[in-house]
Amino acid sequence: MSGILRLGRLELRVLDLEESVKYYTDVIGLEVTGREENRVYLKAWDEYDHHSIVLQKADTAGMDHMAFKVKDIYELEKLESKIEQFGCQLSRVSKGTRLAEGEAIRFQIPTGHYMELYTDIEQVGTKTGSLNPHPWPDGLRGIAPHRLDHALLTGDDLETATRFFTEVLGFKQTERIVTVDGEVLVGSFLSATNKAHDLAFVKGPDGKFHHAGFYVDNWYDVLKAADILTKNNVQTEITPTRHGITRGLTIYFFDPSGNRNEAYTSGYMSYADFPTITWTEDKIATGIFYHRRELVESFNKALT
């Protein structure tokens, strides 16, 4: 084990900060936990740390960085050394650079995306508490996911990216998509925990963001999410369906800046001895949209 505990946060670039805050609070149902001039910090109701989403006012949409929480400072230092040995550009982020965060290490991975690892962040708890808690708090709004679940990114050299996450950071590859001849990797699903995925890549332009997945309770909540999106006139890409890959239940839609979001549930548990599942490229449409068995054009093209 590498010492990585889980996915910690995404910092998303948005064009209109206040419009985005309204969307992520009223439609997604996140809670604002802090503000700075050009950033707003949010978390889901079932998350204990100060934030899992940071909205950054910017001229272009997309992802500034994705971060994973590490067990302690000793594991963080070990990973820092391994990342440098792999050849990634690495820098330190000072404590207090962002609200409620301690020091972090920041590095660029082979697909051009920026990642961070950290161990120190303020814990603010949940409204249900940790002593004799009720199953959910009163006053939930919107889709009201339990947590930020995963992100999907695009890049060209998925072999090297996969090798970095498995050999350096200790992730396991739960599923992969290959060309029919098996020669080229075109999709890679990676987990640092026992989830189906914490991070995934599909072949495409380097440095692009595909979507952020938010975890909801069940299939009914995915259907309810579709109702909430229609009530709020949110652009929906695909109505509720199932993934073949991960077996998750899903709906895709877009925030006001064009960043794709997903309400996601179900999926399997991946233990340490879980074998990697392989999909061939000719079945990719079934893997992604199991019921319709065909891709929508925007799925590969709407990237930020």
Question: So where are the chain's domains?
Answer: 4-121, 147-288
Q: Which CATH superfamily is domain 147-288 in?
A: 2,3-Dihydroxybiphenyl 1,2-Dioxygenase, domain 1 (3.10.180.10)
- Report the distance separating Cα 285 and Cα 252, nearest Å: 15
In one-letter notation, the amino acid at residue 164 is F
Give mean pLDDT, residues 39-46. Answer: 98
- Active-site entry in 116, 197, 210, 215: 197
pLDDT digits (tens, 9 = 90+) for 196-209: 999 999 999 999 99
Let me know: does 230 contact 277? Beta carbons within 8 Å.
no
Position 2 confidence tier, pLDDT thresholds 50, 70, 90: confident
Question: Is 264 tagged catalytic?
Answer: no
Question: Is 36 tagged catalytic?
Answer: no
Question: Is 262 tagged catalytic?
Answer: yes
pLDDT digits (tens, 9 = 90+) for 211-222: 999 999 999 999
- Report the distance separating Cα 101 and Cα 165, nearest Å: 24
- Active-site entry in 23, 118, 215, 252: 252
Question: Is 291 tagged catalytic?
Answer: no
Q: Evaluate if residue 181 carries a pLDDT over 90.
A: yes
Whether the domain at 4-121 and the domain at 147-288 fall into the same CATH topology? yes
CATH number for the domain whose boundaries are 4-121 = 3.10.180.10
- Report the distance separating Cα 272 and Cα 103, nearest Å: 30
Question: Is 210 tagged catalytic?
Answer: no
Q: CB within 8 A of 193, min separation 6: which ones?
A: 5, 6
Position 1 confidence tier, pLDDT thresholds 50, 70, 90: low
Question: Is 51 tagged catalytic?
Answer: no
- Active-site entry in 31, 150, 210, 215: 150
